[in-house]
Amino acid sequence: MTAPVPPVGVETLVTWLRAHQGEFTEEALRGRLLGAGHSPADVDAALSMLHAEGSRLPEVTPRATAGGTITSPPPPPAEPSHPGDPALAFLGAALGIVGIPYLLAVAGSGNLALLVGGAAILLALVGWAILRDSSRPGIARGLGAALVAVVVLPFVAVVGLFGYCLVTGGRLY
């Protein structure tokens, strides 16, 4: 199984199609884009935009090698990867969600710490929801991991502790 292709804009696909429209058939170009992992909706939108411009793709591929075999189109464009995005987003979100309320609680503003912590969690959740289908999915993965670490894991720990107390009769030793 191959990894999914990072999302690129339909405009990028149209530019790629324009560059190769005189060399390959629509089926070959469409197959290459789908084979590279682009969504069928994006490929159809790019081809529709190309047809709306009045561009025509050839019925037969004009380019052939000396042996008579038809060459395939070059690989379509892919979004550049940003390998540090998940780690930086996780660190920033975890520090924001845990660190700022902790500093406020140490300073004696306990009620304000709870409000700021809730706002930070909500902001991280909104950021994750907005960025998960963007051109920088690594940031969304980092925010999602931070939300899991800060919200879900403590909840599971509390439920586990509660279950342990029920089983042992309320003793934690």
Higher-pLDDT residue of 170 and 142 is: 142
- Cα 17 to the center of its chain, rounded Å: 24
Find all residues with CB under 8 Å of 24, minimum gap 6, and list them. 32, 57, 58, 61, 63, 72, 73
- Domain locations along the chain: 1-80, 85-168
Find all residues with CB under 8 Å of 27, minimum gap 6, and list them. none
What would the mean pLDDT of 146-173 be, rounded to a whole number?
Answer: 82
pLDDT averaged over every residue in the chain:
76
Q: 35-52 pLDDT, tens per residue?
A: 777 888 888 888 888 888
Higher-pLDDT residue of 54 and 40 is: 40
Q: For residue 85, give Cα distances in angstroms to 94, 121, 136, 166.
A: 14, 19, 8, 42
Q: Is 103 helix (H, G, I), strand (E, B) or coil?
A: helix
Q: Can you read off the two tokens belonging to residue 24?
A: 């390959």
Q: Full-prediction pTM beyond 0.75?
A: no
What would the mean pLDDT of 49-58 be, rounded to a whole number?
Answer: 73
Band (pLDDT 50/70/90 cuts) for residue 2 is very low
Q: Write down the pLDDT at residue 1.
A: 39
Q: 87-100 pLDDT, tens per residue?
A: 888 888 778 777 87
Q: 71-126 pLDDT, tens per residue?
A: 566 676 665 566 777 788 888 877 877 787 788 778 887 778 778 888 888 888 88
